[in-house]
Structure 1
Amino acid sequence: MRAQRHVPRRAARATYTLPQAETSARWARHLTTAFLTSGCGEEVSGGQVEDATLVVSELVTNATRHGRSACRLRLRVGTGLVTVEVEDSSPIPPRLCSAQETDEGGRGIAMVRELAQHFAVRGGPGGGKTVQAVLAAS
């Protein structure tokens, strides 16, 4: 009888740097979909791809619009989870506010928090921040 050694598998990762531009959220959606559907080498459900794409769009839009900087998008896939992190140079955390029916914005972070199994904002070196959302298998 042979003993089998269990070697934990490393999570698939991707990192992208996006400029402070109106087109960054669109590029982020495209990069996320491509990575999750064919680049990560892991099985990711269609629901996770849709949720991750929406989360990425919201977080990158916030980073480039309110963070007033370029941003770094990090994606990680492993053990049934998709982790999205967006880092920008602003120290100001995103606000969770109650949008009025007539408001055209202000619902993004609330949506991200609803979709995420775990949501966190961490300060970063140099005064910036990283917003993280962990999405479970759907």
Structure 2
Amino acid sequence: MKTPRKALEAYWDLPADLEVVGAARRLVREVLVAWGISAVAEDVTMVVSELVSNAVVHGKAPITLSLHRHGRIVCGEVTDHSIVWPSPLPAGPDSEHGRGLAIVTAYADRWGVESAPEGKTVWFVCVEPGSR
């Protein structure tokens, strides 16, 4: 009988600055490669990019990003101190904004929002292709 592998975890406190979005993408890619699950890196990176952007633009600092690996599954959370939950915005073909949650829905296997002690947490799950 095999012993289950311990979940791997990574946490970052992020400043409320849009420049952190690129750094968050880089950190996520580096961690996923180190964890040996780079096949899901594009999906996780896209979701993190959108959720961190939303937290910076619409949320309230402090912002925390965390990733957890459970076998071939990556779970992530972006927490901020705003009590306003994300909601889809209408986006026309020429709109610059309003596609973030549609992108999250397209790249994550599941996602949702939960109340946090002082704000909210947007969570997501991405499963390595071939493991679904």
TM-score by length of 2: 0.91
Deviations 1:37-58 (A, max 9, x none): 12x3xx3143x10111111111
The counterpart of 1:44, out of the listed 14, 29, 37, is 37
How far apart in 2 are the matches of 1:95 and 1:14?
Answer: 27
Task: State yes or no: 1:21 paired with 2:17.
Answer: yes
- Name the SS for the 2:27 alignment partner: helix
Q: Counterpart of 2:124? A: 133
The counterpart of 2:52, out of the listed 37, 60, 75, is 60
Task: State yes or no: 1:120 paired with 2:116.
Answer: no
Q: Counterpart of 2:78? A: 86
Contact 2:44/2:108, CA 8 A, preserved across alignment: no
Q: What RMSD in Å do the two structures reach over aligned CA positions?
A: 1.3
How far apart in 2 are the matches of 1:10 and 1:35?
Answer: 16
Query: What is the identity percentage for the equivalent residue pairs of Structure 1 and Structure 2?
Result: 36
How far apart in 2 are the matches of 1:6 and 1:33?
Answer: 29
TM-score by length of 1: 0.87
Structure 1 gap segments, 5+ residues each: none
How far apart in 1 are the matches of 2:81 and 2:66?
Answer: 15
How far apart in 1 are the matches of 2:114 and 2:18?
Answer: 25
- Deviation of 1:88 after TM superposition, in Å, equals 0.3
> What letter corresponds to residue 68 of structure 1 in structure 2?
K
Contact 1:67/1:88, CA 8 A, preserved across alignment: yes
Q: Counterpart of 1:7? A: 3
How far apart in 1 are the matches of 2:98 and 2:105?
Answer: 13
- Deviation of 1:31 after TM superposition, in Å, equals 0.7
The counterpart of 1:111, out of the listed 72, 97, 103, is 103
Contact 1:68/1:90, CA 8 A, preserved across alignment: yes
- Name the SS for the 1:104 alignment partner: coil
- Deviation of 1:70 after TM superposition, in Å, equals 3.0
